[in-house]
């Protein structure tokens, strides 16, 4: 046993556990802030680093791809290499990657830094959750701890929108990444004395081949979409990346079916509620991307909003999700997961379709705000039921993997949605410009492309509703069986 590992205390409780929770809360806030801050910074970064519209999505997907594809491996590494050790490595690495992105002089340097953030985030996030799980052994205290963690996940996004606007407008978009450095360093200094080391027992094998093949497959798929945006769908070279993606993803599932300690046990996907929940979450992530990514560009490049005003313009969405999440939690035991999810997905689809009607002269109050409110209310009814359905009937040995898959599905869905829908928007804007004899970056061309992307995003949400209708049949007591199970 190493120093501070699994010490025995007189009352059985770690006296520094609430301080440890404070450290973890700081790290969670940093990760959540990073996601929303970057959305506000995208338009300024595009201009500063001369990033083309076809490549803009890599600011998002470089992070989400690395994070989503490595999250399950990161959890196993944390369990067996030492949760505190991996937590600190994740913090230091995340800070270093953020600093690199903050001083980026080329788009490639920024994309690489974002990918590194994703790699270290994939170590940091599961380590933090595991530390909470082993530090708080009393069920009531553990529930409070996860409540704090969840509140930061919800509220942190709203804070990030405003902070991103302030930093971008009054300093530089680069500080939207650089702000992570002091936050991470404070967390490291506090983690050393207050977070206790712990390890998991059992099989210590790591499914590295699985992690490598799924990452290559997903990157190839996203790069294929990116190439389609620049070269067009008619070029043979575009499809070679889709072929590579299909081969590596197929190899990944073959490896998972044979591996001794698989990254993704196939049995976790086999149960209809869990499998349906993960697929629906992936589709929701794909559709949800369209709103944040394209509206950020629309606010600043078309409506002329400042970065700070753009942050406030997004605020009703975050507040809507936070407000109605409590409603969803109360209704879930009464009506079950499927009715809530179907209602929420229909509302979110309507909201996104309404958003597709924007023009270069549309008003935020009359055209954008109602759509945001409808979407946020609907999605609030989806998130909690989806998470609980994703844990339906899971065995104890698979609870960590099952809960991590919820986050993984959303991140990968966002990555694929970013790539595909950006390709749709760029291609449509170019075609519109040619047809109307105007430039592809003319406001009318751009908004036409974004409107079509919103419609495709609504299509993803509709598919998610179909998946839910067909696959989700968990009863009203779905919450009871998941008490104490971690949701990432």
Q: Is 4 part of any domain?
A: no
Identify the CATH number of the domain in which residue 339 sits: 1.20.1250.20
Query: 3-state class of 442 per DSSP?
Result: coil
Enclosing H/E stretch for 166? helix 139-170
Question: Quick one: pLDDT band at residue 120, thresholds 50, 70, 90?
Answer: very high
Question: Quick one: pLDDT band at residue 204, thresholds 50, 70, 90?
Answer: low
Q: Is 354 part of any domain?
A: yes
Q: Is 6 part of any domain?
A: no
What is the Cα–Cα distance from 402 to 405, expressed in whole angstroms? 5
Quick one: 434 and 472 in the same domain? yes
Quick one: 146 and 56 in the same domain? yes
Terminal alpha carbon distance of the chain: 28
Q: pLDDT tens-digit profile of 380-419?
A: 899 888 888 887 777 766 766 777 788 888 888 888 888 8
Q: Is 2 part of any domain?
A: no
Domain count along the chain: 3
**Burial of 198 by CB count in 10 Å (0-12 exposed, 13-18 middle, 19+ buried)?**
buried
Quick one: 225 and 317 in the same domain? no
pLDDT at residue 308 tops 90? yes
Quick one: 238 and 360 in the same domain? no
Handedness of CA 403, 129, 400, 33 (dihedral sign): positive
The encoded tokens of residue 300 equal 């600043």
Q: Which of 176, 197, 218 is the last residue of a domain?
A: 197
Quick one: 190 and 129 in the same domain? yes
pLDDT at residue 102 tops 70? yes
Quick one: 452 and 419 in the same domain? yes
Q: What is the pTM of this model?
A: 0.84
pLDDT at residue 119 tops 90? yes
Q: Which of 148, 169, 197 is the last residue of a domain?
A: 197
Looking at per-residue pLDDT, the higher value among 8 and 66 belongs to 66
Residue among 71, 447, 392 at smallest CA distance from 263? 71
Quick one: 357 and 413 in the same domain? yes
Q: pLDDT tens-digit profile of 333-363?
A: 888 889 999 999 999 999 999 999 999 999 9
Quick one: 53 and 178 in the same domain? yes
What is the Cα–Cα distance from 304 to 300, expressed in whole angstroms? 5
The dihedral region occupied by 12, where left means phi > 0, alpha psi between -120 and 50, and beta the remainder, is left
Quick one: 250 and 313 in the same domain? no
Q: Is 222 part of any domain?
A: yes
Q: Please tell me the predicted confidence (pLDDT) of residue 203.
A: 64
Which residues are within 8 A (CB) of 318 and not within 5 positions of it... i.e. 6 or more apart? 36, 154, 155, 157, 158, 161, 376
Q: Please tell me the predicted confidence (pLDDT) of residue 126.
A: 85
Q: Please tell me the predicted confidence (pLDDT) of residue 397.
A: 67
Q: Is 300 part of any domain?
A: yes
Q: Please tell me the predicted confidence (pLDDT) of residue 3.
A: 45
Quick one: average pLDDT of 144-171? Answer: 80
Q: Which of 197, 225, 242 is the last residue of a domain?
A: 197
Domain extent for 74: 12-197
Quick one: 166 and 278 in the same domain? no
Q: Please tell me the predicted confidence (pLDDT) of residue 486.
A: 40
Q: Please tell me the predicted confidence (pLDDT) of residue 352.
A: 95
Quick one: 221 and 362 in the same domain? no
Q: Is 345 part of any domain?
A: yes
Quick one: 35 and 137 in the same domain? yes
Q: pLDDT tens-digit profile of 445-455?
A: 999 999 999 99
Q: Is 1 part of any domain?
A: no
pLDDT at residue 374 tops 60? yes
């Amino acid at each position: 046993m190493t120093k501070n590992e699994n010490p025995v205390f007189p009352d059985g409780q770690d006296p520094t556990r609430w301080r440890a929770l404070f450290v973890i809360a700081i790290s969670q806030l940093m990760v959540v802030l990073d996601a929303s801050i970057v959305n506000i910074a995208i338009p300024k970064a595009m201009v500063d680093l001369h990033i083309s519209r076809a490549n803009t999505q890599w600011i998002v997907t470089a992070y989400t791809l690395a994070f989503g594809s490595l999250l399950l491996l990161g959890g196993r590494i944390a369990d067996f290499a030492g949760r505190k050790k991996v937590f600190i490595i994740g913090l230091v690495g995340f800070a270093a990657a953020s600093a690199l992105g903050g001083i980026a002089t080329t788009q490639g340097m920024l994309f690489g830094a974002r990918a590194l953030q994703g790699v270290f985030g994939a170590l940091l996030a599961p380590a933090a959750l595991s530390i909470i799980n082993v530090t708080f052994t009393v069920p009531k205290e553990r529930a409070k701890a996860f409540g704090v963690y969840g509140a930061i996940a919800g509220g942190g996004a709203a804070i990030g929108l405003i902070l991103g606007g302030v930093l971008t407008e009054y300093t530089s978009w680069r500080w939207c990444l650089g702000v992570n450095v002091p936050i991470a360093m404070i967390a490291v200094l506090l983690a050393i004395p207050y977070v206790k080391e712990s390890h998991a027992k059992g099989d210590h094998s790591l499914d590295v081949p699985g992690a490598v093949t799924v990452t290559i497959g997903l990157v190839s798929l996203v790069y294929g979409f990116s190439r389609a945006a620049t070269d067009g769908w008619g070029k043979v070279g575009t499809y070679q990346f889709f072929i590579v993606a299909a081969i590596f993803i197929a190899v990944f599932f073959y490896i998972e079916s044979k591996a001794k300690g698989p990254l993704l046990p196939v049995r976790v996907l086999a149960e209809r509620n869990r499998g349906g929940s993960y697929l629906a979450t992936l589709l929701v992530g794909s559709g949800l991307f369209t709103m944040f990514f394209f509206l950020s560009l629309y606010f600043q490049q078309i409506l002329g909003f400042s970065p700070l005003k753009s942050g406030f313009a997004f605020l009703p969405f975050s507040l809507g999700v936070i407000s109605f999440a409590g409603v969803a939690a109360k209704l879930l035991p009464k009506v079950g997961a499927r009715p809530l999810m179907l209602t929420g997905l229909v509302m979110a689809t309507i909201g996104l379709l309404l958003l597709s009607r924007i023009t270069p002269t549309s008003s935020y109050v009359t055209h954008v705000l109602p759509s945001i409110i409808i979407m946020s209310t609907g999605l609030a009814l989806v998130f909690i039921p989806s998470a609980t359905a994703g844990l339906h009937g899971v065995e104890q040995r698979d609870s960590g993997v099952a809960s991590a898959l919820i986050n993984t599905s959303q991140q990968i869905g966002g990555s694929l949605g970013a790539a595909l829908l950006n390709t749709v928007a760029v291609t449509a804007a170019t075609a519109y410009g040619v047809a109307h004899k105007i430039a592809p970056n003319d406001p009318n061309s751009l908004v036409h492309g974004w409107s079509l992307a919103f419609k495709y995003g609504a299509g993803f949400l509709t598919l998610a509703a179909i998946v839910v209708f067909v696959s989700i049949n968990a009863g009203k007591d779905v919450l009871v069986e998941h008490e104490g199970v971690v949701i990432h």
